[in-house]
Structure 1
Amino acid sequence: MRAFVIDGPRSGRVAEVDPPTPGPGQVVVDVTRVGLCGTDVELFAGTMVYLQSGDQRAPMVPGHEWVGRVAQIGPGVTTVEPGRRVTGDTMLGCLRCDRCRNGRHHVCDDRFEIGIRGNWPGALAEQLLVPATALRELPGSVDDAAAALVEPGGCAWRAVEAAGVGPGNTACVYGPGTLGLLTLHFLVARGVAVDVVGLDATSLELATMMGANAVHRAGSQPNTRYDAVIDTSTGADVPGTALRHVTPSGRLVLVGVAETPSVVDLRQVVIGDIKVIGILAASAGLDATIREFSTRQIPTDLLVGATVALDQVADVLAGKRPAHAGPGPKIQVDPRQGDQ
């Protein structure tokens, strides 16, 4: 089968690789759509922290935001049948440790992360191997473009849950990329007045179209305090700035990960009685996100800029936006395009 393989920093190619074979408890999925993520960019650039720690290494097949149909099932699989349309959890815990047994498999020390950690092959391929326990079946009301947004949507949903806001509250989202716009979507659905701070005028315009109360260019936002501030950006300076905009007894939720450490004055946390919450992975938010997407249409026309073939992935990861792309920040891939 064809897959996109990263051989090293800024070196990627479409290659013929052996198709997966399902073992006990596993399934093989025919992939129909994959979203490219900032994590994939970091893996391609060679800057991702797991490459430094040895938890991931080249060659690798990335891709963890996906949708497809079950093609084969392995021995012992009774929960899903061939032909079912599915997405799945990125985080694959050992299922033996205390964290896994207590529903915290996403922070299992021995976990794989599909396309990211432990060299479990990712979804930028025609087929993907997945444990049946990680699968989530999809209703017909969630099309492929939306289904491939379920993983970042799960991260956004968890961030909004952690923010603890609702009607009558205010919030600010830093970073109007895909994750930030999905966070905005869920906040607006809960009746929260949301301001958005970002660097790019096009992204801020999308935030306005998706219901932001106000948008501000980074560095020029007013000295407003909010009940919750959610950082979905990758700016190392943002957490310190965001903290200053949290109202006393409010919450700062951190979802984005910068390439370098952030410097934050933690005295402000104590003096302001502020809760600071970190969010890793979509796992606990996948089911809720699928329900939300099935009942309240996600604006994929605003979020997804283009869908490309595997042959174009290297250019996109290198920062070259497809010529035909719309304004949406997310680029998705159809691995079936350009089959040889």
Structure 2
Amino acid sequence: MHALVLTGPGEAEIQDVEAPKAEPGQVVVNVERVGVCGTDAELFSGEMSYLHTGRSWYPLRPGHEWCGRVTALGEGVCEDWLGRRVTGDTLLGCDRCDRCRAGRHHVCADTGEIGVSRGRPGALAEQLAVPARALHALPDTLDSTLGALVEPGGNALRAVRAAELRAGERLLILGTGTIGLLAALFADAQGVEVHLMGLRQPELAGTLGAAGVWTRPALPDHLPWHAVIDASNAAELPALALDLVEPARRVVYIGLAGTPSTLDTRDLALRDVTAGGILGGSAGLADTIAAYADGSVNPRPLVAGTVGLADAAGILAGHRPDDAGPGPKFHIDPRR
């Protein structure tokens, strides 16, 4: 089958590779759609920290935001999965340790991430092998665009939940990329007043129900922020999130900067602020599917366009096709 393979920093090619087989406990999925995110771009550029710690290495097959149809079952897998349209958890724990048994497989010491770490092949290919325990069925009402947005949606939903806001309270989201905009959609669906802050005031953000879209100089200084979510990749913004949030409320960190950020824990303690970090969408995938299915959250405008596997390397390198829409997300259809 054809697959995109990262062979080194800034180097990628489509290769003919061996098609996966459904080992015991696994299924094989014919991939329909794959989302490209910042992690994929950093794996391509060589900037991803995992490449420097030994958790990831080249050659690497990326792609962790995906959907498709199950076409083969391994031994021990329920036959009901055959023919089902599915997406799946990216974070795969050992399924044996205390963390996994307690439902915290996403922080298992041996976690491998599909298309990201520990040599697990990703979905930028015609087929993908996945443990059946990681699968989530997609209802017929969810097309491939929505199916490939479930994984980032799960991340955003977990961030909004961690903010612990009530309807009518005010949320500030730092960052207007895919996760920031998805968090805005989920928070708005819960009746929260949403504001976004980014380097720019993207036209798209103002159409997603946000009460305000600001740059840093224009950010109002008279509004109390009942929670702040940092969904940016700027090293200086975690400290700003703490400065802006109301005392005794919550800041949520889901963005990852390329360099270490500095946070003064004295401010955290003296203002009685609770800070939380979010890794992965595992616990939010099922409810994300439900929100997309019932229409309470519609992330379609975030997708700027869909290209074939041959154009995937260009997207990873930051190329934006001339006919792209205003959204931050690009999808790849490996069947093209």
Tell me whether the two structures share a fold, i.e. TM-score over 0.5: yes
Q: How far, CA to CA, are the matches of 1:81 and 1:296 in structure 2?
A: 25
Q: How far, CA to CA, are the matches of 2:125 and 2:324 in structure 1?
A: 22
Q: How far, CA to CA, are the matches of 2:81 and 2:195 in structure 1?
A: 44
Q: Which amino acid aligns with 1:150?
A: V
- Unpaired segments ≥5 residues, structure 2: none
Q: How far, CA to CA, are the matches of 2:185 and 2:334 in structure 1?
A: 28
Q: Tell me how many residue pairs correspond in the alignment.
A: 335
Partner of 2:272: 273
- Mapped pair 1:183 → 2:197: no
Identity %: 50
Q: Does the 8 Å CA contact 2:146/2:300 hold for their aligned counterparts?
A: no
Q: Does the 8 Å CA contact 1:79/1:132 hold for their aligned counterparts?
A: no
Q: Does the 8 Å CA contact 2:227/2:251 hold for their aligned counterparts?
A: yes
Q: Does the 8 Å CA contact 2:145/2:300 hold for their aligned counterparts?
A: no
Cα pair distance change 1:323/1:198, threshold 3 Å: same
Q: Does the 8 Å CA contact 1:61/1:124 hold for their aligned counterparts?
A: yes
Q: How far, CA to CA, are the matches of 2:130 and 2:323 in structure 1?
A: 33
- Give the one of 214, 217, 236 matched to 2:215: 217
Task: Return the offset for 1:237.
Answer: 0.8
Task: Return the offset for 1:62.
Answer: 0.3
Q: After superposing the two structures, state which structure 1 stretch, 39-48 or 73-82, moved more.
A: 73-82
Task: Return the offset for 1:82.
Answer: 1.9
- Mapped pair 1:260 → 2:280: no
Give SS of 1:244's match. Answer: helix
Partner of 1:296: 295
Q: How far, CA to CA, are the matches of 1:172 and 1:201 in structure 2?
A: 14
Q: Which amino acid aligns with 1:211?
A: G
Q: After superposing the two structures, state which structure 1 stretch, 221-230 or 241-250, moved more.
A: 221-230
- Mapped pair 1:107 → 2:94: no
Q: How far, CA to CA, are the matches of 2:102 and 2:45 in structure 1?
A: 35
- Mapped pair 1:2 → 2:10: no
Q: How far, CA to CA, are the matches of 2:166 and 2:10 in structure 1?
A: 43
- Unpaired segments ≥5 residues, structure 1: none
Q: How far, CA to CA, are the matches of 1:336 and 1:42 in structure 2?
A: 24
Q: How far, CA to CA, are the matches of 1:96 and 1:81 in structure 2?
A: 23
Q: Deviations over 1:51-106 (max 9, x none)?
A: 11101100010000000000110011016432100000001000111000000000
Q: How far, CA to CA, are the matches of 2:298 and 2:45 in structure 1?
A: 30
Q: Does the 8 Å CA contact 1:80/1:132 hold for their aligned counterparts?
A: no
Q: Does the 8 Å CA contact 1:165/1:228 hold for their aligned counterparts?
A: yes
Q: How far, CA to CA, are the matches of 1:51 and 1:271 in structure 2?
A: 38
Q: How far, CA to CA, are the matches of 2:80 and 2:52 in structure 1?
A: 37
Q: Does the 8 Å CA contact 2:55/2:118 hold for their aligned counterparts?
A: yes
Q: After superposing the two structures, state which structure 1 stretch, 263-272 or 108-117, moved more.
A: 263-272
Q: After superposing the two structures, state which structure 1 stretch, 223-232 or 306-315, moved more.
A: 223-232
Q: Which amino acid aligns with 2:210?
A: A
Q: CA RMSD in A?
A: 1.1
Q: Does the 8 Å CA contact 1:34/1:334 hold for their aligned counterparts?
A: yes
Partner of 1:149: 149
Once the two structures are superposed, the pairs formed by residues 7-22 of structure 1 within 5 Å of their partners are: 7-22=7-22
